[in-house]
């Protein structure tokens, strides 16, 4: 059944519908080799739809990878300010993949990427209850703040609840916390820590659901195993 092209691009994790509209207006999307028009409909699997000359992947060629994102990279497909993006690290994957969710430029760790829009939505949306776990090196009274972080906090006019907070280490000037959350609002961990009197010195995501970063080195990526894909698709 034909659908609006921006809906097709969103379903394939190419971009949000709004961003897809901008891509269409910029002439980056073609249908049958002809630049698409805003509002145009097409049928995936029947029409040849491509972005920047790269065809959308059929379902049987979906790819799922994890990247250990370094600091200093933005989690976007492109950046109008010319900053380095995670796409430059995974250019050798062989197919077009896109980030699931975001890690801010100063954060590092586990980032999932795919060309499967349904899978991406299931991992990223908070209603599917995939806990994201972070190791956070902080300055300040980590022991006292850990107790505060376990309580509901008001962040940007929203009440947020940590799934769990563990104090891994204390030092004379701070410590290391392990914090799990569901919501994943913009810079949520940093804002939670700041509200509890802590300065975030480094922040690393170490797991999403039951899938962990493990020993994957910073700046490297690998394909998810079939078992990991199934875990992320089915656990709640």
Domains of the chain: 3-56 (3.10.290.10), 63-125+216-234 (3.30.70.580), 131-208 (3.30.70.1560)
Predicted pLDDT of residue 236: 54
Sign of CA dihedral 49, 54, 57, 58: positive
Residue 123: pLDDT band with limits 50, 70, 90: confident
* Contact of 191 with 155, CB cutoff 8 Å: yes
Mean of the pLDDT values across residues 54-64?
77
Give pLDDT tens digits for 177-191: 999 999 888 899 999
Distance between CA atoms of residues 68 and 89, nearest Å: 10
Q: Which of 48, 79, 104, 141 is catalytic?
A: 104
Catalytic residue list contains 230 = no
- How remote is the C-alpha of 118 from its chain's centroid? 14
What confidence category does residue 64 fall into, taking pLDDT thresholds of 50, 70 and 90? Answer: very high
pTM listed for this prediction? 0.78
């Amino acid at each position: 059944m034909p659908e609006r092209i921006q809906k097709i691009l969103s379903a394939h994790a190419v971009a949000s519908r709004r961003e897809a509209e901008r891509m269409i207006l910029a002439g980056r999307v073609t249908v049958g080799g002809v630049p698409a028009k805003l509002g145009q409909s097409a049928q995936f699997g029947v029409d040849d739809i491509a972005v920047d000359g790269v065809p959308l992947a059929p379902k049987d060629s979906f790819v799922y990878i994890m990247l250990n994102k370094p600091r200093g990279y933005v989690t976007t497909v492109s950046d109008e300010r010319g900053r380095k993006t995670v796409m430059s690290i995974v250019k050798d994957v062989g197919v077009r993949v896109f980030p699931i969710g975001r890690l801010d430029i100063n954060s590092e760790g586990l980032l999932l990427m795919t060309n499967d829009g349904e899978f991406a939505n299931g991992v990223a949306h908070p209603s599917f209850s995939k806990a994201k776990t972070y190791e956070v090196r902080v300055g300040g009274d980590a022991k006292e703040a850990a107790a505060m972080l376990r309580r509901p906090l008001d962040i940007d006019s929203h009440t947020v609840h940590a799934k769990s907070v563990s104090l891994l280490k204390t030092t004379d000037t701070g410590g290391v916390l392990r914090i799990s959350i569901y919501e994943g609002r913009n810079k949520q961990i940093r804002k939670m820590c700041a509200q509890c009197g802590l300065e975030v010195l480094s922040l690393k995501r170490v797991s999403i659901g039951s899938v962990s970063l493990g020993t994957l080195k910073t700046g490297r990526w690998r394909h998810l195993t079939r078992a990991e894909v199934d875990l992320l698709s089915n656990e709640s």
